[in-house]
Amino acid sequence: MIRDPGPSLGARRAIEALRAGVPNRDAVGALGFEAGELLEEFDKRIVDLQSSVQRAAQPRGVLLAGEFGAGKSHALEYLTHRALKKGVAVSKVVVSKETQLFDAAKVFRAAVENLQIPGRTGDALAEIALSNLLDFRSPRFVDLILWARDSPLNSRFEASLWLYENAGRDAELQNRLVTFWSGGPFAVGQMRSVLRALGQAGTFKLERIAAKDLARQRFQFLARLLYAAGFDGWLILLDELELIGRYTVLQRGRAYAELARLLGLVDDDGVPGMLVMGGITPDFSSAVIRGKDDRNQVDVRFRSRDDAESRLTATLAERAMAEIETHLHRLPEPDEARLGRTLANLSDIYATAYGSFPAANAELTHRAGWQMREYIRGWITAWDLQRLDPAYHTELVVDRIVTEYTEDELLESPAEGEEDGKTAAPED
């Protein structure tokens, strides 16, 4: 017989996550999240998101600012579960060497790979496509078909919906469609062949399109697809946006421009049904935008090319930089009252996890410059040592982690479809 571990297992998972500094569902659920103004703003944006398809307008995105260890990742994890409870699909994307912000195709695929939907587990997009969530008879699906027909999106999206509705029982075709919707390939020649076999030769233009433009259109399509499947919007959470500061100036410019698109700062070209929030360090503006003179450097580099796309990149980059400089939502600093509540809560979780209540004399001294992560890991470390040796006296030393903004070309493999970072190849 397998014993039910009871609440101790969840408590121990929470402690392990907090000890490692990587928040998970157990840790966030146990500690909660104290930022009333931010939660109020978040709930307002979710209400806007839930009506954005009907209004044909993307809700303006939100940028959270906090030092390393201040709780940005914890906040994003908490908001993930808050949104799921409200019927919103959620993707969490960590900007990294593998997922550069200036590459829309990689960002989109990462968003799909990390997509979570309420009440379901596993491959979310496959769950949607292969279950009854997309009901052909539902008003939302009918609206999706009409929207795809009348929108300026590439016609392969409309064609994929026709194939899904009319030939979706073919398992191989289903897999192809899910792969395409997930950001993978479905070559035009193959799609034409399938349509021809079903008597639809020439029905859809299947025009050529640059890979990066197709990637940007995928966000619009998936937001509407998720809405048609019954979800009240798509929330994308971007973590570690400060990595932009380590790109060279041209890729910083492109990254700023993509951020502007994601946040809905583009005139008449938003993504209804999608809300984007991101976490960034509060010194990014001083260290990168002003410190590296990005407003001038990006503007000069792109406008000197004197082509429409470069001018648009410069304009959008300027909007993203202005957003970072003027519209950051700061995470609250830990004060004595908040520290006391967190310490009491955490000691209860630790007692549940290990069956022994931690020493009552845990240090609660407010230390200048310390972030919440440092307090939490300090308390857990002290309790671990006291549990092993009650006579041990713990002295904690914290080495400050400074955000690195040194440029690193290794972070900059060309965006997909661009061999030299300048010329976008057509998507076949």
What tokens does 327 get? Answer: 């519209």
Q: Which amino acid is at 289?
A: I
Mean pLDDT calculated for residue range 10-35: 79
Crossing angle for the helix pair 36-50 and 72-85, nearest 10 degrees? 40
User: Whole-model pTM above 0.85?
Assistant: yes
Q: In the structure, what pLDDT confidence band is assigned to residue 70 with cuts at 50, 70 and 90?
A: low
Nearest to 28 by CA among 251, 289, 237: 237
Report pLDDT for 381. Answer: 83
Neighbours of 74 (CB within 10 A): 27
Q: In the structure, what pLDDT confidence band is assigned to residue 422 with cuts at 50, 70 and 90?
A: very low
- Whether domain 35-118+237-331 has CATH 1.10.10: the reply is no
Report pLDDT for 180. Answer: 96
Kindly tell me if the per-residue pLDDT of 249 is higher than 60. Answer: yes
Stronger pLDDT, 66 or 173, i.e. the higher one: 173
Nearest to 415 by CA among 334, 288, 313: 313
Q: In the structure, what pLDDT confidence band is assigned to residue 353 with cuts at 50, 70 and 90?
A: confident
* Cα–Cα distance, 46 to 103 (Å, whole number): 26
- How high does pLDDT run on average in the chain? 87
Ramachandran angles phi, psi of 195, nearest 5° = -65, -40
Neighbours of 304 (CB within 10 A): 9
Least confident of 122-131, 190-199, 222-231, 274-283: 122-131
Which helix (DSSP H) or strand (DSSP E) does residue 276 occupy?
Answer: strand 274-280
Report pLDDT for 378. Answer: 82
* Cα–Cα distance, 155 to 265 (Å, whole number): 26
Expressed in angstroms, the distance from the first to the final Cα of the chain is 57
Report pLDDT for 399. Answer: 64
Tell me the pLDDT tens digit for each residue of 290-308: 999 999 999 999 999 989 9
Q: In the structure, what pLDDT confidence band is assigned to residue 245 with cuts at 50, 70 and 90?
A: very high
Question: CATH 3.40.50 region(s) of the chain?
Answer: 35-118+237-331
Report pLDDT for 142. Answer: 95
Kindly tell me if the per-residue pLDDT of 259 is higher than 90. Answer: yes
Q: Is the dihedral of CA 385, 390, 393, 396 positive or negative?
A: positive
Q: Is the dihedral of CA 237, 241, 247, 253 positive or negative?
A: positive
Kindly tell me if the per-residue pLDDT of 313 is higher than 90. Answer: yes
Report pLDDT for 404. Answer: 82
* Cα–Cα distance, 2 to 13 (Å, whole number): 19
Report pLDDT for 325. Answer: 96
Report pLDDT for 419. Answer: 47
Q: In the structure, what pLDDT confidence band is assigned to residue 367 with cuts at 50, 70 and 90?
A: low
Kindly tell me if the per-residue pLDDT of 195 is higher than 60. Answer: yes
Report pLDDT for 418. Answer: 63
Q: What is the DSSP string of 11-61?
A: HHHHHHHHHHT---HHHHHHH----HHHHHHHHHHHHHHHTHHHHT-PPPP
CB-based contacts of 15: which residues, under 8 Å, 6+ apart? 349, 350, 353, 354, 380
Kindly tell me if the per-residue pLDDT of 361 is higher than 70. Answer: no
Report pLDDT for 69. Answer: 58
Q: In the structure, what pLDDT confidence band is assigned to residue 425 with cuts at 50, 70 and 90?
A: very low
Tell me the pLDDT tens digit for each residue of 10-22: 888 888 888 877 7
b/e for 409-423, b at 16 or more Cβ within 10 A? eebbeebbbbeeeee
Q: Is the dihedral of CA 379, 381, 383, 386 positive or negative?
A: negative
Report pLDDT for 334. Answer: 76
Mean pLDDT calculated for residue range 228-251: 96
pLDDT above 90 coverage of the chain, percent? 57
Pairing of strands 426-427, 209-210: antiparallel
Report pLDDT for 3. Answer: 38
Stronger pLDDT, 122 or 368, i.e. the higher one: 122
